[in-house]
Amino acid sequence: MIKKFIDICAAEQIFAGVRKILIAVSGGADSIALAELLINARQRFNLELAVAHFEHGLRGQASLDDAAFVKNFAEERGLEFIGGNGNVPTYASENKLSVETAARTLRYEFLAKARRDLNCDATALAHHADDQAETVLMRLLRGATSNGLAAMKFRTRSDDYGLLIRPLLRFRKADLENFCRQRNLSPRTDATNFDADATRNKIRLELIPTLETFNPALVETLCRLAEVTADESDFIAAQADKIFPAVVKNDAIIRAEFLKLHPALQRAVIKKFLAKVAGSAKDFGFVHFEGVRKVLINGLTGVELTKGLRADLKRGILSVTKNFLRKG
């Protein structure tokens, strides 16, 4: 298991440019296995490690016990530890979010601050192959296109959270649990993982077992789909970056240049264009990207977007403006 971990990390260059890693540890088998594997691999990659734990305030004393367990785990191994806590139910209510989304937001904000405070180069997350498969299925059910099916990658960099690394994406959850048993580790168990009311849990507990009756290698198949799609999406994005200056000038799309592009590049350019003029593409979905594409292809006058924005095509130039049309 340790050799496989080291081989994957070397082959995928997961630690390129990384010296100090903050390990996000919940106390469950996945994150405990990740920490133990990194401890055994740190000499090979010349790494310095620290452990972070966020207590969500969701499970009373059990959550407090998780935090104490992780702190003790880190201290026994001589690792720097940083803990944080938050009130997820209150945050979810105040911001009109699901508990799952609120927990993720607060956790990632804590990890980002902890990474900066401890001067770490990256944050290691314990997402594994089963998580990847669940994510692909969840996004597929929500109508994601190929870019969305790329799901999680070994390395992801963002302005908000810095470099996130996921070294376990080729390991099954069962393998990680077995590794913990072999190493005489005693990870904590989160009972909410078996709550069938949560969408992800229903996918894990009900949908995947059903689909595995048709394809026993379902998880491996979905992970392969995610990995290949990620590579293809990265390639298309790189090509879009190259041709973007010729297609987009003065924050407007030149229709004549746009029509020369393959549909895959058209969609990538539109997404990059909307992100540029609106500051972010997160509020736009496929319907908006495709709406703009149809305007350009068919020479339509324009289309309503979101957040009061509108794309207008005039004399072969498409621009996005705030829609000040009267209400009603």
Tens of pLDDT along 145-174?
Answer: 777 788 799 999 988 899 999 999 999 999
Phi, psi angles (nearest 5°) of residue 154: -60, -35
Q: Residue 191 above 70 pLDDT?
A: no
Most distant CA pair in the chain, distance = 71
Query: Closest Cα partner for 122 from 40, 36, 48?
Result: 48
Q: Residue 240 above 70 pLDDT?
A: yes
* Exposed / middle / buried, residue 158 (Cβ in 10 Å: 0-12, 13-18, 19+): exposed
pLDDT attached to residue 144: 79
Whether 248 contacts 274, CB under 8 Å: no
Distance CA 137, CA 207 (A): 9
pTM: 0.84
> 60 by DSSP, 3-state: which?
coil
